[in-house]
Structure 1
Amino acid sequence: MTVLAVTGSTGRVGGQVARRLGPAVGRLVVRDAARAPRIDGDPEVVEASYGDRAAALRALEGVDVLFMVSAAESPVRRDEHRTFIEAAAEAGVGQIVYTSFAGAAPDAIFTLGRDHHDAEQAIRASGMSWTLLRDNFYSDFFPLFADEEGVVRGPAGDGVVAAVARADVADAAVAVLQDPARHVGEVCTLTGPEAFSVRQACDRMTTALGRPFSYVEETVEEAYASRRRWSTEPWQLDAWVSTYLAIGSGQLAAVSPDVERLTGHAPRTLEQAFS
């Protein structure tokens, strides 16, 4: 019997994956066992954080296939990723399926995309078999970009992005994990069915959600200044502002067939992502 471990099950993507796979999941790796979801098959629940090597080794012992949802955004995320990946290899994990980013690169405009590139490099060097799920920005996050008046501000210009619904990311992950050996060595880019600008997203969200949204263009300097009321951490400000710069660059505009190839269904539209 192949032992499948799932991380991130207290979150949206990992939780959907764990529930969908049900009895196929042998172990849930969570930071807090009290928050672990109850799923069919009642898998073993083991506590470990990505940055705790000893706990990760214990949690991953005997695991054949690991679904690794990327760690929470933080200034130490690269170290946490590498610690967990190295522990997985040392524990004898055979294959890792990692949720990466569509623009992962050492010089990615979206600064957190550089973290994903670093994790990918660690995975490729680990000796484990691997599958990379490179997600575009999440389409169902776009309403969260707005302030209390429904205004989205940023330096995105007229750039477009092929954003993907989190439900489609979960569907793709489930498809891979149902037959992981078939997908060894694949780099899957997960996008929605079309690319749209932030301004277009606001118009469509207004209709779909029944409340007003609008887009206000900012300069880079204005974008940093307007966000300092929420954080003064440089890495966090860089991440927020570079989200819009990455969209504006057009580098995330390409539509990929991989969601439909993996799942057998068309990817969800922006409107469908909210339902």
Structure 2
Amino acid sequence: MTLLAITGSTGHVGGRVAHLLAGTADLRLIVRDPARAPELPGAQVATASYGDRAASLAALAGVDVLLMVSAAESRTRREEHRSFIAAAADAGVGQIVYTSFVGASPDAVFTLGRDHGDAEVAIRESGMAFTLLRDNFYSDLLPYFADESGVIRGPAGNGRVAAVARADVADVAATVLRDPAAHRDATYQLTGPEALTMAEIAARAGAFLGRELSYHDETVEEAYASRARFGAERWQLDAWVSTYVAIADGEVAAVSGDVERLTGHPARTLEEALASSQP
């Protein structure tokens, strides 16, 4: 049986994938903290972090297909990604499925999209077969960008975002892992069913969550100033602000039918995405 490795199984996307495949596939869950790994029938657990080459090589030994959920945002994420991708290739992994970003490229407006572009280059150069899941922003997280007064602030203007539910990303990943060969060297654009402005997202999410939410359009200068109180590093500030600038520029507005085509069900609406992420 094909051995599938899944990273991020303690998180929302990787965890849902692991549960969807449990009992139907030979799984190895690669986690940083084995105490947090989900207990699933027949699943192995291996411990490694992306930046630890020796541990990664051991965890990936014998793996045929790898789902690599992108690492948490950090100043060193590119190096961590490249280390793990290289370890996967050296361990003999045949195919890697990577959660990327719709705007992944060296000059992406969303600065973290450049990290994903760098990872995609490393994957293409690795010699492994690949499947790239280019996710839009997560629709079930956008409403939680609101501050304590319920205001989402940022320079998105009237731009639109075709945000996708994390549950839909997981459903697509599970579909790919059930028949990896059918998705060899493919790139998919994963979006929601519609492109919404931030004002529309605030109004609809607020109505669903029973909370007063609104959107306040900032200039780029105001956005940096309003976030200065957090004391974050410049790369993090750039990521926060460029999230909205990418929306304003139209970089994340295109709607794709890939979720429905791959999973057989329509992409979740904003309200359905929020419902799927509730505990």
Please give the TM-score of this superposition, normalised by the length of structure 1: 0.98
Q: How far apart in 2 are the matches of 1:126 and 1:162?
A: 31
Q: How far apart in 2 are the matches of 1:8 and 1:244?
A: 26
Q: How far apart in 2 are the matches of 1:139 and 1:26?
A: 28
Structure 1 counterpart of 2:31: 30
Unaligned runs of 5+ in 1: none
The alignment status of 1:168 with 2:168, answered yes or no, reads yes
One-letter code of the match for 1:254?
A
Q: How far apart in 2 are the matches of 1:229 and 1:267?
A: 37
- Is the CA contact 1:231–1:237 (under 8 Å) kept in the aligned structure 2? no
Structure 1 residues 124-143: aligned runs within 5 Å: 124-143=124-143
One-letter code of the match for 2:9?
S
Q: How far apart in 1 are the matches of 2:259 and 2:181?
A: 18
Q: How far apart in 1 are the matches of 2:232 and 2:123?
A: 32
Structure 1 residues 23-172: aligned runs within 5 Å: 23=23, 24-41=25-42, 43-172=43-172
Q: How far apart in 2 are the matches of 1:25 and 1:150?
A: 44
Farther-moved stretch of structure 1 (142-151 vs 234-243): 142-151
- Is the CA contact 2:62–2:92 (under 8 Å) kept in the aligned structure 1? yes
Q: How far apart in 1 are the matches of 2:274 and 2:151?
A: 18
One-letter code of the match for 2:71?
A
One-letter code of the match for 1:36?
A
Structure 1 residues 180-195: aligned runs within 5 Å: 180-195=180-195
Aligned residue for 1:139, secondary structure, equals coil
Aligned residue for 1:5, secondary structure, equals strand
One-letter code of the match for 2:34?
A
Deviating 4+ runs (over 4 angstroms): none
Structure 1 residues 246-265: aligned runs within 5 Å: 246-265=246-265
Give CA-to-partner distance per residue, 1:122-162, whole Å, 9 cap, x none: 00000000000000000001121101111000000000010
Q: How far apart in 2 are the matches of 1:60 and 1:171?
A: 23
Distance 1:231 1:144, change over 3 A: farther
One-letter code of the match for 2:171?
D
Q: How far apart in 2 are the matches of 1:56 and 1:222?
A: 42
By how many angstroms is 1:208 displaced?
A: 1.2
Give CA-to-partner distance per residue, 1:161-195, whole Å, 9 cap, x none: 10000000010001100000100011000000000
Aligned residues: 274
- Is the CA contact 2:56–2:87 (under 8 Å) kept in the aligned structure 1? yes
One-letter code of the match for 1:209?
L
One-letter code of the match for 1:40?
P
By how many angstroms is 1:26 displaced?
A: 2.2
